[in-house]
Structure 1
């Protein structure tokens, strides 16, 4: 989850293989998988220790006090758990892990991102408790195996019922490590292949030296160094040049920052101290700096408590949804810090000869920076054909980037490249209005009612791009993502290969 090293590796020439770069995009999924695995094995670990606590209490023996966590026979197992260092730290670790996992669910992250952020940073406390937890010395090993090999016979023990036992446990009904020979009435070492060895001394045990620091010190140092680097990089606030209110509760923020460079498809994190002291929110760049201008921008949808408070600071009053055209608002803006940019799968759009970009609602933002790049600064790249599919529930949502799509379409026609960009707009829910506006006739002719026929779309792309590799990029609901992923893995008769890429913030 160190975003800066991942962004460096993705953008450097050292990782020139596309498959390797796509593997780096799985860092968040790998992180979530590790978290689930830790939770599963923690449950097994806790259950095993609860059984051990019961066993220590019920089978307490003074002969093995150094190995027994209980202090006397039939001690309450709850005392063993809550009054010892390993037990108490283990309980606290389970509590921290429970808070981190429950607050990581999608519903909490969307509704209250602050809770997710604060609880997720409890991993520092978790690692601290883990260091203390292993220092309790519960796990021990025998230090004198040569002088006291397992199953050896000690001749100086007291005989009880024909079985030698230590003097301090005489009177107990049994002595488990030894078995009685029915023929000679003499003890035989347990599982010793009838070959007895004489013990020269009592067994001695010593706790294992904690080695957990060997596993976590390296990653923790890397993470702390990366956080320090990001903190230093983001100490200088940005200058907000304009704030635009769009329909359907979407706000566009344009900013400038000295020495800020970004590539299309990347994202940044915003920190506004007046909204939250520690909270940082990721947003895809919809406009990147170019050689002629330093302005970069984002589009954010007002969903959740953080974006609502941020909207109140940016706009004096809110009437989103009542105007079709954007509304410019001039006021004194709050202090805003930007960290990034960071890499994302959408960076690969320009690295394919043919790309299919599918957006659902506000998921269009990572592809908007690609379209802006094609419009403003035409740099050398491999892309020769771009299929752009945008699905929205409200027809007013298309106004977010309607001007951009029209200008890019007009530019491509003037350059005699009308087939370069294939635009398909889908309105999934129609309320009678089936027209984007008289100003956007080009978009009206590409507007469809309903949902795309994905199989037909893939067959059409495969037919016109035979034996080529098509990059499929998705930023939208999981239902769309699953369909695209399934179709990308399906074979076709045209020899066309589809590589699926899912947008995610690492």
Structure 2
């Protein structure tokens, strides 16, 4: 019995947010349903619509709440401002909000979609009841003009059309947000989510037509029903109820969140650099990853460790903004920053092709940000446990640069960094930087400040990058990389350049099948990083980490302490480490707080 209660307590504690949200939603629905079910002013309307009135109004209030809250995680600038203010007063609270912002947005969106369907079905039933239960004695309260009017005619009203548009947009956003759809056709996901502006417009118009009406009662008569009214009213003066449209409260729900969202949107639009950003240098790293150096737009562009920016290439798409973590921060003497871009997907392939054809300096880009991220907590942690996979190492690169500049820095006092890569050549992204950091820490008598391990998962390390396009005749162009890693290109004579094309709203479909073959002047066969960087050779492991040993080592090293584990990588790794943190925290006295990077 005690074990059962403990398991229940752990289950509730893990899902306290979800349970609280479901409880709030059900309470709002029940309270509104009960209000419209018992209130005297809706007696005549209930006699026509039945319980459909109560369900539609209850779901309407839930939808108002969801539409108000779904915008909050999208207010990036305001979230960043709040983070800077609250991180000093109560860092844990807003830190939790940043880490949970994406899941919060998804939870509210799923609730919105479910109640939007229920709300629409209840109104379809209401249209049928308006036609079937037409009240000839009180024509003001009827939506139908006569008994048994076709419900489709009622649907053609302003309320009906806007309601159908709202439902269509909600379902479109929900379907394209599925992981399967989002991964395969990301453009559809992005395009449907740009419909949030017409969605908000339809949301404000939808309840203004006044289809649903309430009875106007004098103050002393608000609790009396018709049978009670007839007992004291003069029989010679028949009772004739008056009706007015139910006042819309949507604007009350949406006023503050929508104002915050619009202020945030205008702030971002006016703060975006429109002229001064240039691509200064582009180098190609192993694993088909681009290292892009961008000029710093303004003197007030201050970026912190772990923050990210949104990048837009006008020649590829006029709508798409893609997030990338800043791996090298601008300084007063270094007015530029670096980002790493893994070439995977239609947008990144089109961006890479454009750089090759025009040259980096001739590609037009805009940046938005920087924006706060949960990874900022690494620089303020006493002990930081960091796990990254592939290009997920980017949030932790700035920590290495900081250690190189300030090897005797106070925070973070100790960093445990595990980096999982597929090929050993990918370690060269950080090999030179890591080698310098380890040397500087030794000279500063702080060798224990950084504990770094590399895990190479590929069993055969002799494979080089090969074309995914099997048709060699369709090869568009070839990248050539010299010994310094700088990319150059050889274009096919029959290749059509992008100079003759106009910018599109989304990534051109024809570029999805374009493939860039990567050739290297260096021979990668039999590559051994230990020969070039001896300090890193002993830190390279083969295969994936044995997480029981890793966590056991941390528990043994830091008994009875509260540790933060920062993770940036694929979803499977995130889920694995999140579950492992929970189980180890329950079984030992060392408590782990799991924090992962998820762009919102």
Give the match's secondary structure for 1:401: helix
**Cα separation, 2, equivalents of 1:385 and 1:377:** 13
Question: Aligned pair in 2 of structure 1 residues 60, 436: CA closer, same or farther (>3 Å)?
Answer: farther
Question: Aligned pair in 2 of structure 1 residues 114, 377: CA closer, same or farther (>3 Å)?
Answer: farther
Does 1:407 find its partner at 2:436?
A: yes
Aligned to 1:215: 253
Aligned to 1:72: 146
2:545 to 448, 452, 463: 452
More off after superposition, 61-70 vs 260-269: 61-70
Does 1:201 find its partner at 2:294?
A: no
Matches within 5 A, 1:302-317: 302-316=343-357
TM-score by length of 1: 0.83
Question: Aligned pair in 2 of structure 1 residues 379, 61: CA closer, same or farther (>3 Å)?
Answer: farther
Matches within 5 A, 1:96-495: 96-145=169-218, 151-152=225-226, 189=227, 200-235=238-273, 236-257=275-296, 258-259=298-299, 260-316=301-357, 332-377=361-406, 380-433=409-462, 436-437=528-529, 438-489=531-582, 490-491=584-585, 495=589
Question: Aligned pair in 2 of structure 1 residues 223, 72: CA closer, same or farther (>3 Å)?
Answer: same
RMSD: 2.5
Q: Which has the larger radius of gyration?
A: 1
- Structure 2 runs not aligned, ≥5 long: 1-73, 463-525
**Cα separation, 2, equivalents of 1:358 and 1:445:** 18
Aligned to 2:91: 18
Aligned to 1:181: none
Does 1:54 find its partner at 2:128?
A: yes
> Could you report, residue by residue, the CA deviation over 1:137-190 in whole angstroms, capped at 9, with x for unpaired residues?
1221111356797543xxxxxxxxxxxxxxxxxxxxxxxxxxxxxxxxxxxx3x
The answer to whether the 8 A contact 1:148-1:203 is kept is no
> Could you report, residue by residue, the CA deviation over 1:357-413 in whole angstroms, capped at 9, with x for unpaired residues?
111111111111222222235584431111111112233322222222222222222
Question: Aligned pair in 2 of structure 1 residues 240, 481: CA closer, same or farther (>3 Å)?
Answer: same
Give the match's secondary structure for 2:585: coil
Aligned to 2:157: 84
More off after superposition, 396-405 vs 239-248: 396-405
Aligned to 2:506: none
Runs of 4+ in 1 over 6 A off after TM superposition: none
**Cα separation, 2, equivalents of 1:75 and 1:88:** 18
**Cα separation, 2, equivalents of 1:286 and 1:337:** 18
Give the match's secondary structure for 2:214: strand
**Cα separation, 1, equivalents of 2:395 and 2:222:** 68
Aligned to 1:179: none
In the TM superposition, residue 111 of structure 1 has moved relative to its aligned partner by: 4.2
**Cα separation, 2, equivalents of 1:149 and 1:62:** 25
TM-score by length of 2: 0.71
Count, aligned residues: 455
Give the match's secondary structure for 2:592: strand
In the TM superposition, residue 107 of structure 1 has moved relative to its aligned partner by: 4.1
Question: Aligned pair in 2 of structure 1 residues 482, 249: CA closer, same or farther (>3 Å)?
Answer: same
The answer to whether the 8 A contact 1:288-1:373 is kept is no
Question: Aligned pair in 2 of structure 1 residues 115, 436: CA closer, same or farther (>3 Å)?
Answer: farther
In the TM superposition, residue 256 of structure 1 has moved relative to its aligned partner by: 2.2
Structure with more helix by fraction: 2
In the TM superposition, residue 349 of structure 1 has moved relative to its aligned partner by: 0.6
In the TM superposition, residue 435 of structure 1 has moved relative to its aligned partner by: 5.2
**Cα separation, 2, equivalents of 1:385 and 1:299:** 25
**Cα separation, 2, equivalents of 1:34 and 1:240:** 38
**Cα separation, 2, equivalents of 1:298 and 1:409:** 23
**Cα separation, 1, equivalents of 2:585 and 2:360:** 55
**Cα separation, 2, equivalents of 1:442 and 1:136:** 73
Question: Aligned pair in 2 of structure 1 residues 370, 109: CA closer, same or farther (>3 Å)?
Answer: farther
The answer to whether the 8 A contact 1:394-1:429 is kept is yes
**Cα separation, 2, equivalents of 1:214 and 1:148:** 25
1:34 to 104, 108, 112: 108
**Cα separation, 2, equivalents of 1:78 and 1:342:** 48
The answer to whether the 8 A contact 2:272-2:368 is kept is yes
The answer to whether the 8 A contact 2:407-2:441 is kept is no
Give the match's secondary structure for 2:445: coil
More off after superposition, 26-35 vs 245-254: 26-35
Question: Aligned pair in 2 of structure 1 residues 504, 401: CA closer, same or farther (>3 Å)?
Answer: same
